[in-house]
Amino acid sequence: MKKTVLAAGIVAAVLGLAACGGGGETTTSSGGSSSSGSSGPALPYASGIQDYLEADVETRSEALAALEQYALDTKLGGIPIYDDSGYQLFSPRIDLPSDEYIPNYGFGAGEATLDPNGTMANGRTAAENGVPSSTANYYQSYATEDSGTFNFWNSQGEDVTGKHGMISASYFSVTMNGDRSGYYWRNDLSKDLRPVPLDENGNEIEHTEGMTSLYWRVHLYTAADEADTGRTFRYNISESSSYYSKYHNREIRLEDYLTPYKALLNNNLMRASEMTQDSSGFYGTYDYLYGNANTRSWDDVGIQINEEEGSIDFRFITPQSQFYAMYNLSSSLYSPVPEEYLYDIGGGPAGGYTYYAERPTSESDLTKYNTIQSYVSIGAERFGTSGGGINYLLSTGPYIVDTWDVREETIYTKNDLYNRTNEIHFAGYRERVFQNDEAAWQEWVAGRLDDMVPPSTHIQTATGSGEYATMAHRTEGTTTIKLNVNACTEEEWEYYHGVNGTMSQHTRENYWDVKPIMSNEDFLNGVYLAINRQEMANALGRNPALGILSEAYMIDPETDYSYRDTPAGQAVIDSYTSGVDNDYGYSPSLASSLFDRALQTLLANGDYEAGARITLTAVWRYQSTIDSIGNSLKGYIENVFNNTPTATSNDIRLTIKNEVGAVGDYNATYTRMQNGEFDFAEGAISGNVLNPLEFMSVICTNSRSQGFNTNWGERTDLVSDSHPIEFDGMTWSYDGLYVAVNGAAILQNGVNVDPVTVGEAAGTDGNESVWYMNTPGLTDEDGLDLIHYTGINYLYFIGMNGNSMGMYSYTIPVNFEGDTPGATISAEVLSTTIEFRIQTNVITELLQGLFSSQETLTSFDGVRIIVSFSCEYGSVERALAVTQTMSLTDLGVSSPVTAQ
Amino acid sequence: MWKYVVKRILLICLTAFIVLSITYMLLQCLPVNEPQSLSNKIAFWDQQVSLGYCWKVPVEKYNLIETGQIIPTTDFYDDVGNRYAYVYYSIIERYGMWIFNIFTKWDWGVSTQIEPTISAMQIIMERLPVSMELNLISVAISTPLGILLGIVAALKKGKFTDDFISTVIMIFISVPSFVVISFLLIWFSYGLGWLPSQWPTNSEALADPTRAALAYIIPVCALSFGSIAGFARYTRAELCEVMSSEFLLLARTKGLTKGQSVVRHALRNSMVPIVPMIISQFISILSGSMILEELYNIPGIGNMFVEGINRRDFSVVMVDMAVYTLIGLFATLIVDLSYGVVDPRIRMGEAK
């Protein structure tokens, strides 16, 4: 007993999870109201402008480790169980370039070779097994999902990425390296190996290691480059297509590269929203996408053709490193398409197409232009859809579609006009669609498929002495399956989900019954150690997972360097296995000790009494998940907990009640998780494996409102009392560090703060009213401002009483340098505030001039002022908006004021 | 008679209208499956706008949200502070637009998930022949077989043959078709490998017509077993009843052999309720084929119905629903009319 307690103490100390106060009491979350502990942090708080965007790999890995450690320690990342690794079977006739799985790349099946006389899984040839002889020498693959479209622009289906990739080329792509041990990025349609950085005037600048830029240029290949390169840059389409004569062998032109961007934004196709997002999006796309179709201009969008350079010049929303600029532009979403082709498939009359580089000016041209655009718009929606059979499938990629029967099969044949056609090893590729895994499995058994991911029910055939073990290849996982945790205290739950919850709102009678045991760290650490994740993983052919991030997450994607292989990444895992006699963090004895101590604390605090029956609810999407995971977890946790000395001596019993969130609607389970209505729940976490630092936003409290991560506990925007993050000699909040490693952060006492917040209205003297916006007021050593505010605008929204509601907006530029002659509003940056002086008579005159004579000022509530502006600090340029509502009284405007 | 038919057709249209209207509104009441990621979420809502289900609040009306005069269905910001507020039209408004498009443009909407942007009507019409073909084959096989078994059972009433057939009938009636197909798949496809485990693709059917023909066996059997049992049970019951009737006894006493009396009198009389049953069985088979099509990967409308509901592709579901409803309603009309064909004494729509 003594030995066990000692060991538990060691583990707890190693994990950094046990109580740090005297008397062995466990410290739990502070309730989220304070940003500092009573004794203060060991290291000074991070403050000022902190920017690690261009930090070296080691520093970034340490930052990521600090974030992951926090997520694990607080359980805001859930409790990892296993990843989604498994097995993939390949028929004997396939010779893979690599038998070892390469994270984020696979086995290089696309670069494999196929022996047409080779055998399938059952020892016979494909033709003998009933594969049609015309396609027997094609690679035989399958899918269990079919989105019914190749139109990547207008679909969210995950399978569309792969389908569209088969028939499209991209600016940059990945291929296997020489010794077939990894992969590397290369230029495909881009002439440059990497995008070229530009200054804001469009001049090329030299790239230096670690630099970031908003502006990037990609020089692009066209058919004019064929002689120089020996490669072909032309379109192709199936011979049986009615567009064959026009588009087979049609050259790729520079203007074709602009078509996909315009198709997406002009028609608001489904993936257009990806172009407006800050991480990978382009400047001006939001305004263009949702702006007035008659007045918006492509000139305002950060995607411009540069005829002189033979390039497209991009302006991103946020600064990009060279790698991420390349990565974001490598999507086949931006593969070139002739606008004329969209016009044709959109139903435009033959011969009616005229390319307009700019908007036409004459009225007749405009009419014609609009007509053309409507055909092009229809074509953009039709592109890649099944409505025209194979007519809508123009290819620049390695294959062309020869046959397409939606939800049955797709047959691709080699594209002889692909720019790297000599690298295509298969004569064709046949993909069949099955309704379920078992049906696909039977086809594999019958020798009609070249690859197969065995369903869990047949996993034993791929292992040990299983029938297909010699054809099996082990894959690594990218998704971590975990147990989600609602570790809120009552105060925290109230903050997130109470009557005035910040994430969801509940009436008091619908409050979730928050269990004190769920916010006890010893209990949650006990749960971590009680799970035999190795046993669970083996049963399902998976790999046990100890951390949030799998091997697939690259801290340096350029060099294929996995975060998990860095010393910092490994240290996080070590913190959960040191002192535990198991490589996968399983120790029932240590779990028992932690449970025991948790119970003692909870009993001492009066949270529970002897004889208590504690029921925790675990929510799952499907009954099948309960059968495969939930029941095992319930068994592990209950068995250990209910046999602890304190539980048995006090007759305390723990029961975990597994239930399906809602039968027939798995989204209801997500809703329950988002609303904090659970104790444990089913979870999985995966994201952008090439940018794990950005992916860690899922842990941020404000991201949880979007359902990315549904674990609840302490707030990440504050410095944790129990788990303060220490990095680079400073103490941080989670959000503060997250923002700093993804750009510049403005920090005060370790907490990330906004560049500006609404301040108080100072009142009016009848002539003018004054109000403030607060700023962090940060200055450098020389007293110069670290945050620069520019481009300020005002928007007035004037409200009315009654049923009629008017909206009038005005844009009034203001300069910060002091008085502006003739300006009606003045603004001045003070040390920590921006002061606004609004002149009463100007507002009155403004209102008088605005409204019709039958209305008077008495019918207005007041004025809502939205101040929008840009600010720059570190590498960041941000657009901000602050709203201030002021009544007429606040403004000192006397009423009624009759309209003039 | 024609007046009766026209009246029934009008009633069928009215019934179909009501059924479809209720279905549409119920489907629209289902909770929204909002995607998790931000870009997908925005795309989802923009798609809802393009489908005419909701509208995006423009910037100049944001103040109405602040004052509560517009209550958005969803309202969120992206990472750079752009606002996305969307308001659903009421269900009645959505229903009105749906009805308007159908009646004015015969536009039943486009698929959103199964084959995005493709007309739902086109998707269903392309798949209707496969379902119809399978169902007609099943009816063509099950009707004579079922009647034959029923006749044999009735003629051998109380003997081992009757007991055996009755037992088999009860089993087939009790076991749903998707269980039968699973059993057939496991035994004849996965186990013995005699029959295809999936409906062949077009290229496979062209390359190997024999395999394509064999592929009919499992689904037709699965669809037919229940139907055969139904026919056999009714035929047996009707025939047994007729066989014990006085007019048949009279026929025998007049010198007819048992065979002559059965064929000329008993069978004809017992067919009165059975012939209309053929159409009822067709409807039954049609509805039973939904899960079966899914299991055997048959590209029919039943498959689309299940898929449409699972993926919330409501336009496809509604067209599929319309097809099923109209087939069902017209079938009842044909059943009623067929009574008159089988038994000339019955005249539909005649004054009493």
Pseudo-torsion of CA A604, A608, A609, A613, nearest 10°? -150
Tell how far CA A845 is from the center of its chain. Answer: 48
CB contact under 8 A, A667 and B33: yes
**Looking at the domain assignment, is residue B303 inside a domain?**
yes
Task: Say yes or no: B153 and B287 in one domain.
Answer: yes
Q: Which CA distances in Å does B230 have to A506, B133, B170, B236?
A: 54, 21, 9, 10
CB contact under 8 A, A805 and B67: yes
Q: What's residue A684's pLDDT?
A: 85
In the block, residue with structure tokens 């011969």: A351
Q: What's residue B83's pLDDT?
A: 79
Q: What's residue A646's pLDDT?
A: 95
Query: Identity (one letter) of the amino acid at A387?
Result: G
Name the band, by pLDDT with cuts 50, 70 and 90, for residue B258: confident
The 3-state DSSP class for residue A556 equals strand
Phi, psi of A6, deg, nearest 5:
-65, -45
Distance CA B49, CA B38 (A): 17
Task: Say yes or no: B237 and B202 in one domain.
Answer: yes
Distance CA A535, CA A542 (A): 10
Q: Which chain B positions have a beta carbon within 8 Å of A272's beta carbon?
A: 43, 46
Best probe of the B interface among A269, A274, A328, A386, by most B CBs < 10 A, is A386
Q: What's residue A665's pLDDT?
A: 63
**Looking at the domain assignment, is residue B13 inside a domain?**
no
pTM score > 0.80 for this model? Answer: no
In CATH terms, are A145-433 and A754-891 the same topology? no
Print the domain residue range for B43: 33-105
ipTM of the complex: 0.79
Is the bond preceding residue A544 a cis peptide, omega within 30 degrees? no
Q: What's residue A232's pLDDT?
A: 95
Q: Does domain A754-891 match CATH 3.40.630?
A: no
Distance CA B235, CA B243 (A): 12
Contacting B residues, span 331-350, partner chain A, CB-CB under 8 Å:
none
Burial letters A395-412, b for 16+ CB under 10 A, else e:
bbbbbbbbbbbbbbbbbb
Q: Which CA distances in Å does A884 have to A532, A802, A805?
A: 55, 22, 18
Q: What's residue A91's pLDDT?
A: 96
Phi, psi of A432, deg, nearest 5:
-100, 155
Q: Is A118 exposed, middle or buried (0-12, 13-18, 19+ CB in 10 A)?
A: middle
Query: Identity (one letter) of the amino acid at A441?
Result: W
The H-or-E segment that residue A727 falls in is strand A725-727
Q: Which among A127, A826, A143, A749 is positioned nearest to A452, based on CA atoms?
A: A143
Task: Say yes or no: B97 and B58 in one domain.
Answer: yes
Q: What's the number of domains chain B is made of?
A: 2
Task: Say yes or no: B309 and B212 in one domain.
Answer: yes
Contacting A residues, span 695-754, partner chain B, CB-CB under 8 Å:
706-708
Q: How does pLDDT run across B201-235, given as a tens digit for each residue?
A: 888 888 888 888 999 999 888 888 888 888 888 88
Q: Which of B37, B66, B299 sits opposite A864 (nearest CB)?
A: B66
Q: What's residue A589's pLDDT?
A: 92
Q: How does pLDDT run across A667-724, given as a tens digit for each residue?
A: 678 888 888 999 999 988 877 888 899 889 888 887 665 556 789 999 999 999 999 9
Distance CA B172, CA B228 (A): 8
CB A51 within 8 A of CB A874: yes
Tokens of A725: 């993050």
Q: What's residue A791's pLDDT?
A: 61
C-alpha distance from B216 to closest chain A C-alpha (Å): 16
Topology annotation, domain A2-82+479-748: Dipeptide-binding Protein; domain 3 (3.10.105)
Task: Say yes or no: B42 and B139 in one domain.
Answer: no
Tokens of A767: 């002539």
Which residues lie below 8 Å from residue A645, measured CB to CB, with a gap of 6+? A1, A596
Q: Which chain B positions have a beta carbon within 8 Å of A667's beta carbon?
A: 31, 33-34
Task: Say yes or no: B79 and B136 in one domain.
Answer: no
CB contact under 8 A, B299 and A442: no
Task: Say yes or no: B85 and B206 in one domain.
Answer: no
Q: Which CA distances in Å does A638 have to A154, A491, A593, A601, A642?
A: 48, 27, 14, 19, 6
Strands A744-748 and A751-752: antiparallel
Instruction: List helix spans (H) across A103-185.
Output: 158-166
Task: Say yes or no: B65 and B167 in one domain.
Answer: no
**Looking at the domain assignment, is residue B5 inside a domain?**
no
Query: pLDDT exceeding 70 applies to what percent of chain B?
Result: 94
Q: Which of B63, B119, B190 sits opposite A442 (nearest CB)?
A: B190
CB A523 within 8 A of CB A17: no
Distance CA B267, CA A709 (A): 70
CB A610 within 8 A of CB A25: no
Q: Which chain B positions have a beta carbon within 8 Å of A880's beta carbon?
A: 81
**Looking at the domain assignment, is residue B350 inside a domain?**
no
Average pLDDT over residues B46-62: 83
Distance CA A164, CA B241 (A): 65
Residue after which a domain boundary falls, among B105, B133, B151: B105
Strand runs labelled E in A351-445: 399-405, 409-414, 428-433
Strands A653-660 and A613-620: parallel
Q: What is the 3-state secondary structure (H, E, C) of chain B?
A: CHHHHHHHHHHHHHHHHHHHHHHHHHHHHCCCCCCCCHHHHHHHHHHHHHCCCEEECCHHHHHHHHCCCCCCCEEEECCCCCEEEEEECCHHHHHHHHHHHHHHHCCCCECCCCCCCCEHHHHHHHHHHHHHHHHHHHHHHHHHHHHHHHHHHHHCCCCHHHHHHHHHHHHHHHCCHHHHHHHHHHHHHHHCCCCCCCCCCHHHHHHCHHHHHHCCHHHHHHHHHHHHHHHHHHHHHHHHHHHCCHHHHHHHHCCCCHHHHHHHHHHHHHHHHHHHHHHHHHHHHHHHHHHHHHHHCCCCHHHHHHHHHHCCCHHHHHHHHHHHHHHHHHHHHHHHHHHHHHCCCCCCCCCC
Q: Which among A62, A318, A316, A320 is positioned nearest to A211, based on CA atoms?
A: A320
Neighbours of A299 (CB within 10 A): 10
C-alpha distance from A243 to closest chain B C-alpha (Å): 20
The answer to whether B304 faces chain A, any CB pair under 8 Å, is no
CB contact under 8 A, A878 and B80: yes
Task: Say yes or no: B198 and B277 in one domain.
Answer: yes
Q: How does pLDDT run across B80-125, given as a tens digit for each residue?
A: 667 788 999 999 999 999 999 999 988 898 888 888 888 999 999 9
Distance CA A868, CA A553 (A): 37
CB contact under 8 A, A133 and B207: yes
The 3-state DSSP class for residue A635 equals helix
Distance CA A311, CA A846 (A): 48
Q: Which CA distances in Å does A609 have to A28, A439, A599, A604, B123?
A: 20, 54, 10, 9, 63
Task: Say yes or no: B246 and B338 in one domain.
Answer: yes
Q: Which residue of B has its CA nearest to A128?
A: B208
**Which of 3.90.1150.10, 3.90.950.20, 3.90.76.10, 3.40.605.10 would CATH assign to domain A145-433?**
3.90.76.10
Which DSSP category does A627 fall into? I
Task: Say yes or no: B243 and B173 in one domain.
Answer: yes
Q: Which among A440, A401, A435, A446 is positioned nearest to A142, based on CA atoms?
A: A440
Task: Say yes or no: B157 and B209 in one domain.
Answer: yes
Average pLDDT over residues B189-208: 86
Q: How many residues would you count in chain B?
A: 352
pLDDT < 70 stretches in chain A: 1-40, 351, 355-360, 663-667, 703-708, 762, 790-832, 842-843, 846-866, 868-869, 875, 879, 893-900
The CATH number for B310's domain is 1.10.3720.10
Domain ranges of chain A: 2-82+479-748, 145-433, 754-891
